[in-house]
Amino acid sequence: MNYIDDDLLQYSDWRGQPFLREEVAQFLTYYCKAPAPLDPENVVVLNGCSSVFSALAMVLCDPGEAFLVPTPTYSGFVFSTHLYAKVDLVPVNLESQVSDANTHPFQLTVDKLEQALFNAKLEGKKVRGLVLINPQNPLGHIYSQDSLMEYLEFAKKYSLHVIIDEIYMLSVFDESVTFRSVLSMESLPDPNKTHMIWGTSKDFGISGFRFGTLYTHNKEVALAMSSFGYLHGISGITQYKLHRLLQDREWIDNVYLPTNRSRLQEAHKFITNELKSSKIPFLSHGSGLYIWINLRKYLDPCTFEDELLLHRRFLDKKLILSCGKTFMCKEPGWFRLVFAATPLLLKHAMQRFYTVLVEQEQDWVVKQLEDAINQEVEDLPASDASQSYSRGVILTSGLEGCCSDLGL
């Protein structure tokens, strides 16, 4: 991997070096279980999946047009679509509550897609596509092949492009869960409007390599995307290293993936056991590097303002738990907890996590006591209240007096 040829130091094909695109096509054919070999001419390589997504938004849309996106969703989409393309995101709001219409929390249905598209048209927005993440971020949910086909049929019905981000496809660690890539589907409803994104930042933990790839059956889209390599290309040396990495299937299959999945399983088990013992609700579907947790009981009132305050409280303890509003979640109180870390680091992190929640509860108790005291004073007749103050009567909570008993 440390080999450097003179050719690697020159300008390369804007779509990516031919040897890397060929390897990416073979890699995706193998790991996505494509029914037929994928074409290297349909591969575009840029410096990261965000660059791919941003460029794709410019290719598929005019400024002011929009994509449908089920929420909660990855927050980077908002930045990527607005930075260059000025493309809007129309949220398809999903609910946590289970009902007849929702057999599981945050379930995406065609009815919800239809309603969001209808509302967007009423607002005068031109929707050009649907954006999906599979496995989903931040929920960790994996779309079944039947559900995925329904979403693709919906998109074809309204002549929408479908962008599917599969950046966590090799980070499915629950053996009972089956992931099916869109590239594995033998008959796509509209192949020319189906575009898949993948990169090595998550599955291989090498985000600093800045590698993202697009696979599209639409050669016009691939050609248009290739021009962005002028601004968002990858160095030849990095492309060579990536080529060698993706080529080593024996190491990936027999060493890397089993080890990575085992570590994710161990970390996931530790975190979920901790959350269960603390009676903190969470969603987890055996994929991704994160868990979607519900901290609504620690918010009073349960608002996005209080959610942000709790987020900042975590930051004060050197913990980053992204709050739900960042993911365009319509319900306050949800946070994404990333667990992909070493056991020792996770142990220290959870100690800080509990410290924040204890402080949050203590402040809540103090606030309730102060509110109750203030209410009692307000309810006193004016003469009694003035007499109390004139006699130097001071009401304080137990915590203000350093009392260890919360009831005093």
Q: Which domain holds residue 165?
A: 6-247
The verdict on residue 256 lying in a domain is no
Res. 403 pLDDT band, cuts 50 70 90: very low
Mean pLDDT for the stretch of residues 262-267: 97
Q: Are residues 103 and 211 in the same domain?
A: yes
Q: Are residues 159 and 67 in the same domain?
A: yes
Q: Are residues 38 and 168 in the same domain?
A: yes
Residue from 92, 18, 31, 17 nearest 246 by CA: 31
Please give, one letter per residue, the 3-state secondary structure of the chain.
CCCCCHHHHCCCCCCCCHHHHHHHHHHHHHHCCCCCCCCHHHEEEECCHHHHHHHHHHHHCCCCCEEEEEECCCCHHHHHHHHCCCCEEEEEECCCCCCCCCCCCCCCCHHHHHHHHHHHHHCCCCEEEEEEECCCCCCCCCCCHHHHHHHHHHHHHCCCEEEEECCCCCCECCCCCCCCCHHHCCCCCCHHHEEEEEECCCCCCCHHHCCEEEEECCHHHHHHHHCCHHHHCCCHHHHHHHHHHHHCHHHHHHHHHHHHHHHHHHHHHHHHHHHHHCCCCEECCCECCEEEEECHHHCCCCCHHHHHHHHHHHHHCCCCCEEHHHHCCCCCCEEEEECCCCHHHHHHHHHHHHHHHHHHHHHHHHHHHHHHHHHHHHHCCHHHHHHHHHCCCCCCCCCCCCCCCCCC
- Kindly state the percentage of the chain with pLDDT values over 90: 79
- Residue 402 pLDDT more than 50? no
Q: Are residues 125 and 243 in the same domain?
A: yes
The verdict on residue 120 lying in a domain is yes
pLDDT digits (tens, 9 = 90+) for 307-333: 999 999 999 999 999 999 999 999 999
- Residue 139 pLDDT more than 90? yes
The verdict on residue 407 lying in a domain is no
- Residue 58 pLDDT more than 70? yes
Q: Are residues 161 and 206 in the same domain?
A: yes
- Residue 109 pLDDT more than 60? yes
Q: Of 224-228, 281-285, 376-380, which gets the smallest average pLDDT?
A: 376-380
- Kindly state the percentage of the chain with pLDDT values over 70: 93
Mean pLDDT for the stretch of residues 224-249: 94
The verdict on residue 104 lying in a domain is yes
pLDDT digits (tens, 9 = 90+) for 7-53: 888 888 888 999 999 999 999 999 999 999 999 999 999 999 999 99
Decide: residue 73, CB within 10 A, 0-12 exposed, 13-18 middle, 19+ buried. buried
Decide: residue 16, CB within 10 A, 0-12 exposed, 13-18 middle, 19+ buried. buried
CATH of the domain at 334: 3.90.1150.10
Q: Are residues 209 and 86 in the same domain?
A: yes
Q: Are residues 180 and 157 in the same domain?
A: yes
The verdict on residue 378 lying in a domain is no
Residues 6+ apart with CB under 8 A from 347: 270
Choose the final residue of a domain: 223, 247, 271.
Answer: 247
CATH of the domain at 221: 3.40.640.10
Q: Are residues 282 and 238 in the same domain?
A: no
CA angle 2, 198, 195 (to 5 degrees): 140
Q: Are residues 98 and 157 in the same domain?
A: yes
The verdict on residue 408 lying in a domain is no
- Residue 252 pLDDT more than 70? yes
From residue 196, give the alpha-carbon distance in Å to each of 76, 97, 165, 353, 379: 17, 30, 6, 36, 64
Residues 6+ apart with CB under 8 A from 121: 127
pLDDT digits (tens, 9 = 90+) for 344-357: 999 999 999 999 99
Q: Are residues 131 and 30 in the same domain?
A: yes
Q: Which pLDDT value is given to residue 392?
A: 42
- Residue 127 pLDDT more than 50? yes
Res. 107 pLDDT band, cuts 50 70 90: very high
Res. 400 pLDDT band, cuts 50 70 90: very low
Q: State the Cα–Cα distance between residues 248 and 244, nearest whole angstrom.
A: 7
Mean pLDDT for the stretch of residues 190-198: 98
Res. 102 pLDDT band, cuts 50 70 90: confident
Q: Which pLDDT value is given to residue 9?
A: 80
Contact 205, 234 (CB under 8 A): no
Q: State the Cα–Cα distance between residues 319 and 352, nearest whole angstrom.
A: 8
Q: Which pLDDT value is given to residue 373?
A: 81
Q: Which pLDDT value is given to residue 397?
A: 41
**pTM given for the model:** 0.88
Quickly count: other Cβ atoms within 10 Å of residue 60's Cβ: 22
Q: Which pLDDT value is given to residue 298?
A: 95
- Residue 406 pLDDT more than 50? no
Mean pLDDT for the stretch of residues 375-392: 58
Q: Are residues 234 and 290 in the same domain?
A: no
pLDDT digits (tens, 9 = 90+) for 158-182: 999 999 999 999 999 999 999 999 9
| Structural domains counted in the chain | 2
Q: Which pLDDT value is given to residue 386?
A: 53
Q: Which pLDDT value is given to residue 13?
A: 83
Q: Which pLDDT value is given to residue 11?
A: 83
Q: Are residues 228 and 324 in the same domain?
A: no
The verdict on residue 389 lying in a domain is no
Choose the final residue of a domain: 214, 247, 280.
Answer: 247
- Residue 382 pLDDT more than 80? no
